[in-house]
A and B are shown apart, each in its own frame.
Chain A
Amino acid sequence: MLKTSNGIQKSSREDRFQGHDYYNIDQLLSEEHLLARDAVRDWVKQEVSPVIEQYAEKAECPQHLFKGLSEIGAFGPSLPTKYGGGGMDEIAYGVIMQELERGDSGIRSMASVQGSLVMYPIYRFGSEEQRMKYLPKLGSGEFIGCFGLTEPDHGSNPAGMVTHYTEDGDDIILNGAKMWITNSPIADLAVVWAKGPDGIVRGIIVEKEMKGFSAPEIHGKWSLRASITGELVFEDVRVPKTNILPNVQGMKGPLSCLSKARYGIAWGAIGAAMDCYDSALRYSQERIQFGKPIGQFQLTQKKLAEMITEITKAQLLAWRLGTLANEGKATPAQISMAKRNNVNMALEIAREARQIHGGMGITNEYPIMRHMMNLETVLTYEGTHDIHLLITGMDVTGFNAFA
């Protein structure tokens, strides 16, 4: 057993996960996609699975994995290589997220935030100087970033945000607070969305050392326990105007980042679902009751058959969405549908898989309960389950039912 500095021991239990591909969807994937998927799967088995239960139990973030995530190339894989990305396509990004979330939603969140919510806006909306200053360091994991949109009183309604700034010569003075921010307590920089004197939302890069900026940790989470979450508090923080992202104004800035991250979550959820199904399928063959493997009972089969059916549907949805994304044609509403469907699918599979494992299902001997608890966050963040339904509702009826 290997002991790391903080007393976390590598578990000797083998991660026996195998992927599931009922409809031969692998045949729709390129060599590059398959290599990327298998590489991340191997990395997760080697680096994540042996320690994740303990980190989750301790509610501690395995910060050493940032380095590994950057080395494998999980930060911004679809951004250009010049800026520290991988130059890959959207499906490659998707399968990477799938495999990370197969390990743990918190690990996938580390990569989603760094790649889609921090690197992507700096790449897409930043100046060339901003890109060169921050992106290579974010890509290599030297800098950790976070994304501040949600506020204590503005979650589903981010446009109502109160965080704002005034101008003072070459600087701005930032005030307000953000809530539920993944990675904030350990971040070197934050991409913060705030309203200017004109009331228009802009993106601002706030650096850790700036005076008046703090990021206290939020404790007591029963979900995403291996991911660190905090606040962002701004008390008259002086930020040079050159830290404002010059090329976007209004809510489409943060929303386009969220589209990227939600797209990744639509794939990620399949990973969590597959892990639960895989474990349940194996357990159903090994666990004997009434003299037979429980997989021989019809009710267990119903659960397993429905799980693989739902996983297969989710895979097809993600693959089609990925193909559209590669063509630059995936609409935000299409992404909403896939995020909502796939996360809910994963959560339901986690619950069913938990039942198949009986009492063992509630322990850390199996990944099920951890996935289930994590998925409660995934169902809510990046737009809640209900909000995504309203987006689809608005898209098909033309009526806005939000307010």
Chain B
Amino acid sequence: MKFLVCISKTPETTSKIAFSADNTQFDTSGIQYIMNPYDEWFALVRALELKEAHGGTVTAINVGPASNDTVIRKALAIGADDAVRINAEPESAMYVAKQIAEHAKDGGYDAIFLGKETIDYNGAEIGAMLAEYLDLPFVSFASHMDLDGGVATIKRDIEGGVEILEVNTPLVISAAKGLAEQRIPNMRGIMMAKRKPLNVVEPVGFDDPCHVVGYELPPAKAAVKMLDPEDMDELVRLLHEEAKVI
């Protein structure tokens, strides 16, 4: 079976987020990057487990510049057989979905995995767009997936419960916590990754209908106000008049 796993690069979770150029660009200075955890821990590892159970190959794909190669190499170190990097700035979800779809349309993949969202923009859009471009079924937020012949049994977390689906392959599936467990690459994997193919391909032209025009940071947290614990009236007044929560 052939599996494709979409991986992306996100700022490390403790990064201090700032914007430059009049709040129109993400300020990348001093930012450390990691592989998006939903892609790495759940999507990639489940694809690898299925490959180990059923045979086949796992290909990792990323849309991004050459500086993303470290993250791609990590996917190879964890166990992907080969990788594709589409050499372009990932301008928008639609742009990325289009580029991946161009690669995947003739790839003969049985399942295309991706994380349920990235931990930076939290868009959760690419999976659905990709499925639409490829005219495939899409299941989001999967916490369990098994394959039997051409049928995938998938559990997805819904508010207060679990939904169980059967879906014919090929399909696009977005991974939530529970789909698999993090695999830490070992030194052997890291060394083997150096010799695995990482194919760089140029993007297809695409007139992106979506453009970021600006960012806003959440309002800074106000200083803590200390009140006399006996003074309930003042507390109620502040919650009502200043915080406006009651």
A contact residues vs B (CB 8 Å cutoff) = 18, 31-32, 34-36, 38-39, 42-43, 46, 71-74, 77, 81, 86-88, 92, 96
- Using Cβ atoms and an 8 Å threshold, which residues of chain A touch B44? none
Please name all residues of chain A whose beta carbon is closer than 8 Å to the beta carbon of B185 when the two chains form the complex: 35, 39
What CA separation (Å) do A271 and B73 show in the bound complex? 25
> What 1/0 flags go to B53-72 for Cβ under 8 Å of A?
00000000000000001100
16 A-B pairs within 8 Å (CB atoms) are namely: A31-B70, A32-B190, A35-B193, A38-B74, A39-B185, A39-B190, A46-B184, A72-B187, A73-B187, A73-B190, A74-B187, A81-B191, A86-B187, A86-B188, A88-B187, A92-B187
Q: Which residues of B sit under 8 angstroms from A35, Cβ to Cβ?
A: 70, 73-74, 77, 185, 190, 193
User: Contact at A32–B191, with CB atoms within 8 Å?
Assistant: yes
Q: Which 3 A-B pairs have the closest CB atoms?
A: A73-B187, A86-B187, A73-B186
- A77 and B187 within 8 A (CB): yes
Q: Which chain B residues lie closer than 8 Å to A74 at the CB level?
A: 187
Which B residues lie within 8 Å of A32 (CB)? 190-191, 194
A354 to B208, CA, bound (A): 55
Contact check, A81 vs B73: say whether CB atoms are below 8 A apart: no
Residues on the B chain within 8 Å of A39, using CB: 77, 184-187, 190
B122 within 8 A of A: no
CB atoms of A73 and B188 under 8 A apart: yes
B73 pairs with A72, CB closer than 8 A:
no
The listed residue (A36, A42, A81) touching B190 by CB distance below 8 A is A36
Q: Give the one of A18, A36, A74, A96 with max B CB within 10 A.
A: A36
Q: How many whole Å from A237's CB to the nearest CB in chain B?
A: 35
Q: How far is the CB of B41 from chain A (nearest CB, A)?
A: 11
For the complex, what is the distance from the CA of A73 to the CA of B186, rounded to whole Å?
6
Q: In the complex, A43 Cα to B77 Cα: how many Å?
A: 15
Chain A residues whose CB sits within 8 angstroms of the CB of B77 once the complex forms = 35, 39
In the assembled complex, the Cα of A14 lies from the Cα of B116 at a distance in Å of 25
Q: How far is the CA of A341 from the CA of B173 in the complex (A)?
A: 53
Determine the chain B residues whose CB is within 8 A of the CB of A31 once the complex forms: 69-70, 73, 194
CA of A71 to CA of B14, assembled, Å = 29
Closest residue of chain A to B187 (Cβ to Cβ) is A73
User: Number of B interface residues, CB 8 Å?
Assistant: 16
Q: Which residue of B lies closest to A41 (CB)?
A: B184
User: Which B149-199 residues sit within 8 Å CB-CB of chain A?
Assistant: 182, 184-188, 190-191, 193-194
Secondary structure of the A side of the interface?
Answer: helix
**B191 & A72 in contact (Cβ 8 Å cutoff):** no
A228 CA / B12 CA spacing, docked (Å): 36
**B186 with A34: CB separation less than 8 A:** no
B235 CB, nearest partner CB in chain A, Å: 22
Nearest-CB distance from A352 to chain B (Å)?
24
In the assembly, what is the distance between CA of A31 and CA of B69, in Å? 9
Query: How distant is B140 from chain A, measured CB to nearest CB, in Å?
Result: 27
By beta carbon, the residue of chain A nearest B78 is A39
Contacts of B69 in A (CB 8 A): 31
Kindly provide the distance from the CB of A203 to the nearest chain B CB, expressed in whole angstroms. 26
- Minimum distance in angstroms from A64 CB to a CB of chain B: 16
Q: How far is the CA of A81 from the CA of B191 in the complex (A)?
A: 10
Of all chain A residues, the one with the shortest Cβ separation from B190 is A35
Residues of A within 8 A of B193 (CB): 35
| Pairwise interchain contact B14-A18, C-beta atoms closer than 8 A | yes
Q: Which residue of A lies closest to B70 (CB)?
A: A31
A38 to B184, CA, bound (A): 9
Q: Given A18-B14, A35-B73, A35-B74, A87 and B191 touching (CB < 8 A)? A: yes
| Inter-subunit contact A36/B184 (CB<8 Å) | no
Known: A35-B73, A42-B182. 10 other contacts (CB 8 A): A31-B70, A32-B191, A35-B70, A35-B77, A35-B185, A36-B187, A36-B190, A72-B184, A73-B188, A73-B190
Do A42 and B184 form a contact, CB below 8 Å, given A31-B69, A34-B70, A35-B73? yes
Q: Taking the nearest CB of chain A, how far is it from the CB of B4, in angstroms?
A: 22
Q: How far is the CA of A264 from the CA of B187 in the complex (A)?
A: 16
What chain A residues lie within 8 Å of B73 (beta carbons)? 31, 35
The residue on B at minimum CB distance from A42 is: B184
Task: Report the nearest B residue to A47, measured CB to CB.
Answer: B184
Q: In the complex, what's the smallest C-beta–C-beta distance from A111 to chain B, in angstroms?
A: 11
Write out the residue numbers on chain A whose beta carbons fall within 8 Å of the beta carbon of B70: 31, 34-35
Closest residue on chain B to residue A87 by CB atoms: B191
The listed residue (B184, B188, B190, B191) touching A43 by CB distance below 8 A is B184
Complex Cα gap A18–B15 (Å): 11
Q: A389 CA to B111 CA in the complex, in Å?
A: 62
Contacts of B184 in A (CB 8 A): 39, 42-43, 46, 72
**CA of A32 to CA of B69 in the docked complex: distance in angstroms?**
11
Q: How far is the CB of A210 from chain B (nearest CB, A)?
A: 32
Please report the C-alpha to C-alpha distance between residue A31 and residue B73 in the assembled complex, in whole angstroms.
Answer: 8
Q: Are B186's CB and A71's CB within 8 A?
A: yes
A46 and B14 alpha carbons, distance in the complex (Å): 18
List chain A residues, Cβ under 8 A from B194: 31-32
Q: Complex formed: what's the CA distance from A87 to B190 in Å?
A: 10
